[in-house]
Amino acid sequence: MDKLSPERRSENMRRIKSQGMKPEMAVRRIVHSLGYRYRLHRKDLPGRPDLVFGPKRKVIFVHGCFWHGHEREGCLDARRPKSNTGYWNPKLTRNKERDAERIKQLEALGWEVLVIWECETKDETSLRIRLNAFLRRT
């Protein structure tokens, strides 16, 4: 049972943005501090990656654990709703399928893809190491 009224839940969902959220900003800040420059949300690439490193042919997606269905053990942000499952389960499953399709398309075009999950942005030290390793590879 949802604790919020349908009107309030609808209002909450309407306010959720797809760009410039806290996890994405954390990744952008670290990448910039490492000295790398990037483009944001290139519309000509499948899935409109969050960060695009054109000359390196690398892209980074910053996925919200709930919306993109993070399956890591212990990720509390990825729990599926218990109410209105007829709506949520197909929607979240389709998001995961679309993500996999987009990654496959990018790789077929010669792009290297890194997915950073929202919960991974909380440990800045390990995130910095992972981002640096990904961007330094040739």
Q: How many domains does the chain have?
A: 1
Give the predicted TM-score (pTM) of the model.
0.84
Question: Is 101 a member of any domain?
Answer: yes
| b/e map 58-72, b = 16+ CB within 10 Å | bbbbbbbbbbbbbee
DSSP string, 70-121: ---TT-GGGPPPSSSHHHHHHHHHHHHHHHHHHHHHHHHTT-EEEEEEGGGG
How high is the pLDDT of residue 8? 78
Q: What is the mean pLDDT of the chain?
A: 89
Tell me the average pLDDT across 55-75: 91
How high is the pLDDT of residue 67? 87
Residue-number span of the structural domain to which 122 is assigned: 18-136
pLDDT in tens, 18-59: 556 889 999 999 999 999 999 999 999 999 999 999 999 999
**CATH number of domain containing 121:** 3.40.960.10
Question: Is 11 a member of any domain?
Answer: no
**Can you read off the two tokens belonging to residue 89?**
């389960």
